[in-house]
Amino acid sequence: MHEKIIYFEDDIALSRVVVEFLEIEKYEVLHFTTMPRGGLEEMIDLVKVPPFVVLMDVRLDSDNGFDICHLFKRHTFFADVPVVFMSGLIGEDDILLAYEAGAYDYLPKPVTLKTLSAKCKLIRKFTHDTADLKSQVSTIESVAMDAMATSSELGGILRFHEKIADVNQLQTLAEALVKQLATFGVSVSVMFSSIDEQMVYHSDDGQMHELEKQVFEMLKNQGRIYSWSNRTLFNYEGFSVLVRSMPIEDEDRLGTLKDKICLLLNGVEGRVRGIINELQLQNSEGNIRIIGKTIGKLVLDMQTSNLVLSEQFEKVINDLEVDFNEEIANLNLLQSEEGILMGLIKSASGNAGNIFEQARIKEQNYTKVMIELLTRMNKNVSN
């Protein structure tokens, strides 16, 4: 497609020569003797795309070239298009007026075709170079903005990891995580699994979404990252994060965002594991204390029971001997017979005492072992 030139000239003979020459030079020329009645809007509709240069006479049929230049420079469509005046007016005031109107150059008439050709080529190169430079600047600005955004977000991730190092409650961690993820410009919910099988759920809107909780449960085994529509679920050991507004229309941002979220959640996973271990340790310590109290009570009960049984046994044996002595006196037994019976009674009492004493010693050994176990358990809990 030939590059466009807008040419304002009311001298028909001159304009015909210039237009034919420029067309031979492979330019598309739109010639006007004055501004269209519809003004700039009609001009834009006729031109379609901005030209690379506007060649402007000062005195036109019913317009002033300086005024038209002012109009062009105030409109975004023409603002960057160079305007070159070609006029027989060569006074200082005319040149200053052209400068104030925003013109690029001022050529006094008559302008040779060779000069015009060289000027158009120079301006076309200038226009292209300017466009390339703006494109490069725009790219650099975009890269710089992305770099600053990335740096800011990465800095936020590092600060967040430092911040949660002392967090010891899953609910507190869930709330902090949702707040941090919001800095990425996304809406999120999180679900943590506690050691007692209870779920800790938190959403950025503060609401409890029962169906969303079911989604967490349903998709927790679908791999580390599971995406559908503009939603992405990140599954980690002990927790999951649902992002409900991923930028799927921007592939670069989408990929970068996933990487940053994973970087953030990798650190969270470690803190979650630490919290769960701490909770498990607290539960273990609680169980140890309960067991210790139970063992202590058993030891005390055994010692008390052993003392009572010992006293009762001694009383039973003494009573038996007294009763036996009273009864044997009424039997009129021979002294030898009485001696035999008394020997049997004493032997049986002695054997019974030995059995009881062995049981008592064994219970004392059991008690000693339980006391040692209790001492070790208390020492572990203290450490």
Q: Which of 276, 303, 335 is the last residue of a domain?
A: 276
Please name the residues in contact with 276: beta carbons below 8 A apart, sequence gap of 6 or more. 194, 195, 238
Task: Let me know whether 177 and 257 are in one domain.
Answer: yes
Task: Let me know whether 106 and 214 are in one domain.
Answer: no
Q: Which of 260, 276, 292 is the last residue of a domain?
A: 276
Task: Let me know whether 18 and 73 are in one domain.
Answer: yes
CATH of the domain at 58: 3.40.50.2300
* In contact, 373 and 319? CB cutoff 8 Å: no
Task: Let me know whether 92 and 206 are in one domain.
Answer: no
Residue 265 lies in a domain: yes
Task: Let me know whether 113 and 228 are in one domain.
Answer: no
End-to-end CA distance of the chain: 84
Burial class (CB in 10 A: 0-12, 13-18, 19+), 221: exposed
Task: Let me know whether 131 and 174 are in one domain.
Answer: no
Task: Let me know whether 228 and 307 are in one domain.
Answer: no
Query: Which pLDDT score, from 0 to 100, does residue 144 have?
Result: 47
199 φ, ψ to 5°? Answer: -100, 135
In terms of C-beta distances under 8 Å and separation of at least 24 residues, what long-range contacts does 267-270 make, across chains too? 267/157, 267/160, 267/161, 267/164, 268/164, 268/173, 268/177, 268/236, 268/239, 269/236, 269/237, 269/238, 269/239
Residue 338 lies in a domain: yes
Residue 329 lies in a domain: yes
What is the strand order of the sheet 105-108 is part of? 27-32, 3-8, 53-56, 83-87, 105-108
Query: Which pLDDT score, from 0 to 100, does residue 306 have?
Result: 63
Query: Which pLDDT score, from 0 to 100, does residue 186 have?
Result: 92
Q: Which of 276, 297, 318 is the last residue of a domain?
A: 276
333 φ, ψ to 5°? Answer: -80, 155
Task: Let me know whether 7 and 70 are in one domain.
Answer: yes
Q: What are the pLDDT tens digits along the chain (383 aa)?
A: 468 999 999 999 999 999 999 999 999 999 999 999 899 999 999 999 999 999 999 988 888 999 999 999 999 999 999 999 999 888 889 899 999 999 999 999 889 999 999 999 999 888 888 777 777 766 665 554 554 555 677 788 888 888 888 888 888 898 999 999 998 899 999 998 866 657 889 999 888 888 888 888 889 888 899 999 899 999 998 899 999 999 999 988 898 899 989 999 998 888 888 887 776 666 655 555 666 666 666 666 666 666 666 666 667 666 666 666 666 666 666 666 667 766 767 776 677 667 667 767 777 776 676 677 667 666 665 55
CATH of the domain at 202: 3.30.450.40
Task: Let me know whether 268 and 312 are in one domain.
Answer: no
Task: Let me know whether 127 and 11 are in one domain.
Answer: yes
Residue 151 lies in a domain: no
Residue 149 lies in a domain: no
Residue 194 CA to residue 339 CA, distance in Å, equals 77
Task: Let me know whether 119 and 7 are in one domain.
Answer: yes
Task: Let me know whether 285 and 268 are in one domain.
Answer: no
Residue 309 sits in which domain range? 281-382
Residue 158 lies in a domain: no
Number of domains in the chain: 3
pTM for this prediction: 0.43
Query: Which pLDDT score, from 0 to 100, does residue 14 have?
Result: 93
Closest CA relative to residue 295, chosen from 224, 368, 242: 368
Residue 132 lies in a domain: yes
Residue 153 lies in a domain: no
